Structure 1
Amino acid sequence: MNDVPEDVVPVMVVGVGAITSQGGTAQALWEGVRTGHVAIGPVRALPMDGYQTRIGGEVTDVPEPAHRYTPEPADSKDREPSIDFALVAAAEAMAASGLVVGRDVPAERWGVAYGTCNGGWRSAELILRDEESGQTPDWHRYTLVPPQAAAETLSAAHGLRGPVLSVNTACASSAHAIGHALEILRSGRADAMLVGGSDAFTETAFAGFSSLESLSPEPAAPYSKDRSGLSLGEGSGMFVLVTDEVARRAGVPVIAEVLGYGLSADGYHVTAPHPEGAGAARAIRQALTTSALAPDDVRYINGHGTGTPKNDSAESNAVRAALGEAAEKTALSSTKSMVGHLLGAAGAVEGIVTIMALRDQIAPPTASFGEVDPQCGLDAVPDSGRVMALDAALSNNFAFAGANASVAFRRPGATAGTPVLPLADDVVVTGFSALSAAGEGVEALWEAFRAGARPGAVEDGLRVARAEFDRSAAGTPKQRRRMDRLSQLAVAACRAALDDAGLSGEEELDATGVVLGTGVGPVASNEDFTVPVLTEGPKVANPGIFPNTVYNSAAGQVSMALGTRGPTSTLTSAHAAGAAALGVAFDLLRSGRAERIVVPAVEVLSPRTLDAYRRIPLFGPAAGRRYTLAEGGFALVLERGRSARERGARIHATLSGHATTSDGLGIGRWDPSGDGVERAMRGALESAGVDAAALSAVWANAAGIGSADRPELSAIDRVSEGSGLRVETPKRQLGEPVGAGAHLSAVLALSGWRDAPADGPVLINSSSLGGTHTSLVLAPAPTASAPTLDSESAR
């Protein structure tokens, strides 16, 4: 391997767009925030009786997006507001960039990274209301609920066919999306990315935060001694990020540069931050380190600043811990005081404010600020914006379940910060586990596969395979009481994988991250929380359930139960979620952000989830297809090769490369030619430095839905040039565990290599049913006589 670090690929912001309570453009957002205008007032679009507050940062004028994603004819009641917000902001950002898809950047080289907390949950609330009143909802509405629906809608609206992923780390979602997009661009898998986030008001969110007694009756006053809680907001923020080479070649103006970012887990509490801000400080330090910034280089931070007592003091402690003496000279203000807390969209919207601050050399204020709180005490820029010389700035976002993110930006022409890549390293698998309908453990799954067993039974026309497992593996009865079944499955699977990897020491786990994939996510907890609220009102909202309604709750429970403190993220790319999680973990390890990452993929099936699948024609009993929907909990431990070898770990395999593509056709549509799958497979092989002729097998995505399976099989035939390459279809036999399909295939491939000598690397395919395709190359562990990866393939 080459032991000389490389300079990173510069990544530039060339377009932004926003829709918030300040107005329908990014400039309206900036003008309002810069001048300290509070756009938080009475909420009109939702029933507001029974909450702690009646106010929020509401978007009052939403133009209908040009792109139609609902069936004809459609009116506003058929649309999902979070998707509309995203489309409006994205259209502005794309137009502002001046770039033309296909002319300046090929469609195949332009992707989407989208962050959200609630996804399309407003549509879910309308579905639940229909069901509770005895009506049958239009089945199309179910397709608007998953977070990936918006990501794939953005891809279709602009004809983008590169990597598409959705990220769900609650209030840090779009900040994570920026970080993951940065890795995609720096690794060369895309040249441009549409990045951001969106969230709309839901009755669930108002009831949930009200049940936690977190909402303020007046506009939020972050960092102020008299603060009493947060104000919710809604809207969207979007960036166009491109490599420096694209920006220079196209001659487009650069607004700012994304220098770096930091991610960490608190592992402390499901809703409260670590009081000393320990996890947040790690994220801030990593943002500085990966950006090659000194604390004195940062004179402004756009803070998380929610207005709740615990969050604001913890963040202030984190800034002091990370910046040291420089913190006392650093301005720390909160955009949320003027637009509210936009949850999953907060990172993108506040990132836009941060780069506008750099552009105009003005630190925006914290509105409604009163008396200084000594538990905070940093410079909150009270009341009005302040002219300052700013070269670099940070944007902080910290979320439920202890997911922390900090993103570093630099103004064009500034010289602070010259980041470099860490030493190249391979990514190896050192542990794996399986909890499935075939039984508990990897061996049970492998034996069921070899025997041709088909677990599951027909439930009201849909074949379902349920996972059973020893719940004591998730912790003590007291620990399990705060976990839903999804979290229990995740903790049990991760514990088994870490045990298989021989990892248990505090120091080892402190350097271990968690990246989780789930397609269905915590829908069961959302139903348990939301249905009583819709039928009986906010007074029955259960604060014990609400923290489990966020998609990243399971990853947070893993961190708390097992003591992991490294980077954490949750990928929600529908039926390709687990594959997306493996790809993100690969990128985090290759960029040196952790020594190892445990990557679970988990799914549980609630009664209403199964009803949704039955009502969608593709899956319903009338379709007559051989399809099994399965639960499952799987985990892989990925590790930097040097770390694994230094601790003497058993290396099961090497994850050599991956690629993600999109058909760019929108919700529930995919290319019948299989072009997108083929591009993903070829991209993964190129990334891994592996020739198709060297493959021993393809573990296919095929699950028994002919209209999706046939394009993939055609693509496999083209990639293998009709060589008769072995194709395994485990989901047709064992069932499709929604977003955990790639993990199912990986565990089976690894189990087969334990049983018999490996005869070559394999491709693992995973696809959403909205035309997002991820392929991964898994290679057997090299023997003592086998050559190691050279410096080119290691990159």
Structure 2
Amino acid sequence: MKTTKRVVVTAMGAVTSQGAGVEALWHGVRAGKVAIDRVRGLPTEGCATDIGGEVTAPLPPAGYDYRADLGARGHERAVDLALAAAHEAMSAHGLPDLPAEQWGVAIGSCNGGTRSAERVLRRAGRKPLTVDDARELLLLSPHTIAEILASAFGLKGPVLSVNTACASGAHALAHAVEAIRAGRAQAFLVGGTDAFTETAYAGFSSLQSLSRRPAAPYSRHRDGLSLGEGSGMLVLAEESVARTAGAPVLAELLGYGLSADGHHATAPHPRGAGAARAIRGALRTSGLTVEDVPYINGHGTGTPKNDSAESNAVRAALGQAAEKVALSSVKSMIGHLLGAAGAVEAIVTVSALEEQLAPPTAGFTEPDPRCGLDAVPGNARPMTMDVALSNNFAFAGANAAVAFSRPGARAALPATPWEERVVVTGIGVLTPSGGSPEELWRAFRSGALAGVRENGLRLARLDVDPGSSMAPGERRRVDRLGRLAIVSSRRALEDARLTPDERVGVVLGSGLGPMRSTEDFLRPVLEEGAAAGNPAIFPNTVYNAAAGQIAMALGAKGPTSTAAAAHAAGASALSIAHDMLRTGTADAVLCPAVDDLTDTAAEAYRRLPLTGGPSGRHYGLAEGGITLVLERESSARARGALVLGELLGHGTAYDAAGAGRWDPRGDGLYRAMRKALADAGTGPEELTAVWANAAGIPAVDRPEERALRRLGTRAEVLTPKRVLGEPVGAGAHLGVALAVEERRRGGAAGPVLINSSSLGGTHIALVLRPGTEF
């Protein structure tokens, strides 16, 4: 067992409808001020309501011109909100001497840069995209926001982005605290951001979820949610580092719990079963008992189903102690900030602990017997509390609970079983080059380029419906991305001979996310108005919809998350899953990497100077899905599983050369490789192969070559993407599948290195020992 490092909050920043700054946020919510009013910055004609928690305060100057680096014409409001909140937090963290390499960034967002995508699609209509359009679409990715923040402050450690819909900000906090405890960075800028979008207003309106009046969570006569926009940022640091630097310590982040409902795309489990597992997980990892929790900052959206399900979850997790707990919702005052909610509500929870004051639930009329817990109606309530929880639950059944305490209030934390080894026990493949690792390996070794040229860009597309092997009822309302995820995951489970349950999680990576569903939902809205929003499509417009569909179809209800790190998304998902398993958060994790190439996505790649035209003449793209089953070795051995390989370690680093840019010397990738080797306890001389990121783009491939020369390895460098095409976010999974098959066919024994890069300066290296048993 390993002593668990303590992680503290040293600074915070916020921008909400209450105003710019944490002080404005806390002053408003402690006073019960409802900052939900008529929306003026976004058209709401045809929507069920025209109110929301809109940010109207002037934003301070960004201090960094991300548009110039990306070559984008327009501002992205989600980015501007994030920069404003981050500047407040980064100006007060008290860690001035901490090296840039020891700073990480973890950002959650539900909509990412959807405002930019809406602008592009409205401007382009059905016409081909221009170069300017393609550059502006780069802002759609949540990971671009994370890289912009890292560039703005020159941070060179791990850069993570997650998109678990309305729980994104809470997931970012969970992954950041795990990374600090694992020694991957000493401090993190972590938070969430989301701006009002036509997609969100039309979508929630189509689901009949919006209220015409400010939301009244937990009240008998509540009738829906109010949308909000904004950003919240926190600086987390290892406690010993913060104390040594003399940094302010506002609170301690004790632990977290994550779970999947596996119940419904938009509705929570009515008894709150999944949410209760997340709350219990937060208590367990924090070393808390049910009697230790006097206050919970609730998810409290104001919809009939969500509020009653959350109340049931609190009762299921806390038992009789729930009747003594105060459970209030600040969404009644600022609206539902979607991916930013978890971060902003964490800031409110920390402020509540600092001031020993539970904020109220505004607009509360009378208790609903289906809820029944103490909603702190009317006015803020002074109360003694050492500990508080913050709940966030999301579409696709992604649940998160985070536990905070006053500084020094908890004497000890549970030790972490970090010595646990992580093994690969199953591989599921669904790609244009084959439906198994054997077929993939043969296609790679043949040297025949996958795909065909379509208007100058080589594309490898699946020529079959990925859901053709699914039952008709199972295919219902599952989009193409979800089908890729379910089918490849089912194949991986069959290969592992594993039956999923509540100890089996899902961590999915996707570089492009749900572009097809987003386009299918948005185009009618832009052409005909909000009333054209299709409620059957809208739930699939969030990145984590595919992970939720896996949980529903296959029964994996353990911790779930979705990494959105562009072309390094799969590698990021594997890194998150690896650390979950080493800390005992799950026994096994299904880790799919899936991407679906839409015509719009292909056209954007075609137009970008990096991947299209002369510089991209040797570049190819592939779609599909590859799923790996990762397990704690003890669990795999206990059930007699065949071990296909061991994931020894990983490392992530950022170039900080500007958004969408990379260091031509390969410095970030070199640091990522060194970190991965150190994590694995392996030297460069021990490597038997390097499965490279190289995909046929000289400006990206040459820095990797320089980094490998600097690393000093003599191992063979293999470049499968140049043959099979770049599978967008599944590059690391491709490397693992091929390395395992290479070893099975008599390849050299020993560790291999697998590299992935986001194309925006984030680099992730994995060390795998394939073929420990056959």
| TM value normalised by structure 1 | 0.95
What's the offset of the Cα at 1:540?
1.2
Aligned partner of 1:381 in structure 2 is 376
- 592, 602, 612: which is aligned to 1:620? 612
- 147, 151, 160: which is aligned to 1:152? 147
What's the offset of the Cα at 1:538?
1.2
Aligned partner of 1:12 in structure 2 is 8
Aligned partner of 2:260 in structure 1 is 265
Moved more, 308-317 or 463-472: 463-472
In 1, the alpha carbon distance for the partners of 2:746 and 2:308 equals 56
In 2, the alpha carbon distance for the partners of 1:496 and 1:230 equals 39
Moved more, 705-714 or 90-99: 90-99
Deviations 1:634-680 (A, max 9, x none): 01100000000111000011000000000012321000000111000
Aligned partner of 1:695 in structure 2 is 687
What's the offset of the Cα at 1:138?
4.0
Moved more, 291-300 or 129-138: 129-138
Aligned partner of 1:31 in structure 2 is 27
Aligned partner of 1:516 in structure 2 is 508
Tell me, yes or no, if structure 1 residue 132 matches structure 2 residue 125.
yes
Moved more, 431-440 or 247-256: 431-440
In 1, the alpha carbon distance for the partners of 2:418 and 2:710 equals 36
Aligned partner of 1:449 in structure 2 is 444
In 1, the alpha carbon distance for the partners of 2:143 and 2:467 equals 33
- 32, 37, 47: which is aligned to 1:51? 47
Contact map agreement 1:471 1:488 (CA 8 A) in 2: yes
Tell me, yes or no, if structure 1 residue 653 matches structure 2 residue 645.
yes
- Structure 1's consecutive aligned runs of 4 or more residues displaced over 3 angstroms after TM superposition are 72-75, 133-139, 468-474, 781-784
What's the offset of the Cα at 1:445?
1.0
- 756, 760, 765: which is aligned to 1:770? 760
What's the offset of the Cα at 1:378?
0.2
What's the offset of the Cα at 1:511?
1.4
- 57, 68, 71: which is aligned to 1:71? 68
What's the offset of the Cα at 1:90?
0.5
- 424, 433, 437: which is aligned to 2:432? 437
Aligned partner of 1:791 in structure 2 is none
What's the offset of the Cα at 1:475?
2.8
What's the offset of the Cα at 1:182?
0.6
Moved more, 137-146 or 214-223: 137-146
Counterpart residue identity of residue 131, structure 1: A
Q: Secondary structure at the match of 1:71?
A: helix
What's the offset of the Cα at 1:417?
5.8
Q: Secondary structure at the match of 2:521?
A: helix
Counterpart residue identity of residue 57, structure 1: G
In 1, the alpha carbon distance for the partners of 2:269 and 2:104 equals 35
In 2, the alpha carbon distance for the partners of 1:779 and 1:72 equals 38
In 1, the alpha carbon distance for the partners of 2:364 and 2:601 equals 45
Tell me, yes or no, if structure 1 residue 749 matches structure 2 residue 739.
yes
| TM value normalised by structure 2 | 0.98
Unmatched segments (≥5 aa) in structure 2:
none
In 2, the alpha carbon distance for the partners of 1:471 and 1:247 equals 50
Moved more, 369-378 or 414-423: 414-423
In 2, the alpha carbon distance for the partners of 1:592 and 1:552 equals 23
In 2, the alpha carbon distance for the partners of 1:32 and 1:181 equals 28
In 1, the alpha carbon distance for the partners of 2:395 and 2:294 equals 27
Tell me, yes or no, if structure 1 residue 560 matches structure 2 residue 560.
no
Aligned partner of 1:121 in structure 2 is 114
Q: Secondary structure at the match of 2:459?
A: strand
Counterpart residue identity of residue 255, structure 1: L
Counterpart residue identity of residue 227, structure 1: R
Moved more, 437-446 or 576-585: 437-446
Aligned partner of 1:674 in structure 2 is 666
Q: Secondary structure at the match of 2:174?
A: helix
Tell me, yes or no, if structure 1 residue 194 matches structure 2 residue 189.
yes
Counterpart residue identity of residue 762, structure 2: T
Aligned partner of 1:344 in structure 2 is 339
Q: Secondary structure at the match of 2:366?
A: coil
Q: Percent identity?
A: 61
Deviations 1:411-439 (A, max 9, x none): 01313663321362100000012111112
What's the offset of the Cα at 1:73?
12
Tell me, yes or no, if structure 1 residue 217 matches structure 2 residue 212.
yes
Q: Secondary structure at the match of 2:315?
A: helix
Distance 1:597 1:468, change over 3 A: farther
What's the offset of the Cα at 1:453?
2.0
Deviations 1:384-441 (A, max 9, x none): 1000001000000000000000000000131366332136210000001211111222
In 2, the alpha carbon distance for the partners of 1:133 and 1:522 equals 19
Contact map agreement 1:514 1:566 (CA 8 A) in 2: yes
- 208, 227, 248: which is aligned to 2:243? 248
Tell me, yes or no, if structure 1 residue 640 matches structure 2 residue 632.
yes
Moved more, 237-246 or 64-73: 64-73
In 2, the alpha carbon distance for the partners of 1:783 and 1:693 equals 23
Distance 1:624 1:519, change over 3 A: closer
Q: Secondary structure at the match of 2:332?
A: helix
Contact map agreement 2:3 2:416 (CA 8 A) in 1: yes
Contact map agreement 1:295 1:326 (CA 8 A) in 2: yes
In 2, the alpha carbon distance for the partners of 1:15 and 1:371 equals 37
What's the offset of the Cα at 1:624?
4.9
Contact map agreement 1:473 1:492 (CA 8 A) in 2: no
What's the offset of the Cα at 1:126?
0.1
User: What is the correspondence of 1:338-737 to structure 2 with a 5 Å cutoff?
Assistant: 338-415=333-410, 418-422=413-417, 424-469=419-464, 471-472=466-467, 475-504=470-499, 508-720=500-712, 723=714, 725-737=715-727
Moved more, 457-466 or 285-294: 457-466
Deviations 1:223-272 (A, max 9, x none): 00010100000000000000011111101110000000000000000000
Contact map agreement 1:161 1:664 (CA 8 A) in 2: yes
Q: Secondary structure at the match of 2:254?
A: strand
RMSD: 1.5
In 1, the alpha carbon distance for the partners of 2:410 and 2:759 equals 45
What's the offset of the Cα at 1:319?
0.1
Aligned partner of 1:99 in structure 2 is 95
In 2, the alpha carbon distance for the partners of 1:624 and 1:263 equals 41
Contact map agreement 1:446 1:751 (CA 8 A) in 2: yes
Distance 1:311 1:80, change over 3 A: same
In 1, the alpha carbon distance for the partners of 2:671 and 2:110 equals 30
In 2, the alpha carbon distance for the partners of 1:142 and 1:624 equals 18
Contact map agreement 2:69 2:658 (CA 8 A) in 1: no
Aligned partner of 2:770 in structure 1 is 780
In 2, the alpha carbon distance for the partners of 1:471 and 1:574 equals 22
Aligned partner of 1:207 in structure 2 is 202
What's the offset of the Cα at 1:6?
2.6
Q: Secondary structure at the match of 1:440?
A: coil
Contact map agreement 1:518 1:573 (CA 8 A) in 2: yes
What's the offset of the Cα at 1:758?
3.7
In 2, the alpha carbon distance for the partners of 1:733 and 1:769 equals 19
What's the offset of the Cα at 1:372?
0.3
Q: Secondary structure at the match of 1:372?
A: coil
User: What is the correspondence of 1:299-314 to structure 2 with a 5 Å cutoff?
Assistant: 299-314=294-309
